[in-house]
Amino acid sequence: MKTLADLLLLGDPRLYETCAPVLEAELPLVAGWVADLHAVMEDIRATYSFGRGIAAPQLGIMKRLVYLNVDRPLVLINPELVEMSAATFELWDDCMSFPNLLVRVRRHQQVTVRYRDANWQPQTWQVEDASLAELLQHECDHLDGVLCTMRALDPQAFRWRPTPSGA
């Protein structure tokens, strides 16, 4: 089982690689990968008090696989953003691979994503919630070797995450 120590950190060259698609023949491996993603996300939540999604390459699994856990666990195999709204918004983005750094980026308010579920069934999800749309864009970027640091609005678009009082 992977742990927080297995999380790739900013600067690791694997974070900048494009991931290979998950093949149907690899479906038996997905449950183990998802268990690792879930375990590390729980470690991040316990340590840094954030974390709604994680992409497989953040653990060195160079496959197009995303695990979300916002209100329930969701596995997205080979996700593809097929539509993005013209409307955008700015936010301070965070990332498990650099947990104390926030980056100001611009994201689309709505997206449509196509993916396969854990049973290899094709799915289409139209995401109208800007917070979830942003999360999907962030995680899908990881699959293409793109970090939010590369989407920074300008050279001043970085700041340290405020520490909780008493920490």
Q: Which of 29, 45, 58 is nearest to 139 (CA)?
A: 58
Residue 131 contacts by C-beta under 8 Å, 6 or more apart in sequence?
A: none
In the block, which residue shows the tokens 């927080």? 4
Answer yes or no: are the C-beta atoms of 114 and 85 closer than 8 Å. Answer: no
* Per-residue pLDDT at 148 exceeds 70: yes
At 154 the pLDDT is: 97
Q: Which of 26, 90, 134, 139 is catalytic?
A: 139
Phi and psi dihedrals of 19, rounded to 5?
Answer: -85, 150
Q: Is 139 a catalytic residue?
A: yes
Tell me the pLDDT of the chain averaged across its residues: 96
pLDDT band at 73 (very low <50, low <70, confident <90, very high): very high
Q: Which of 84, 14, 75 is nearest to 41 (CA)?
A: 75
At 164 the pLDDT is: 62
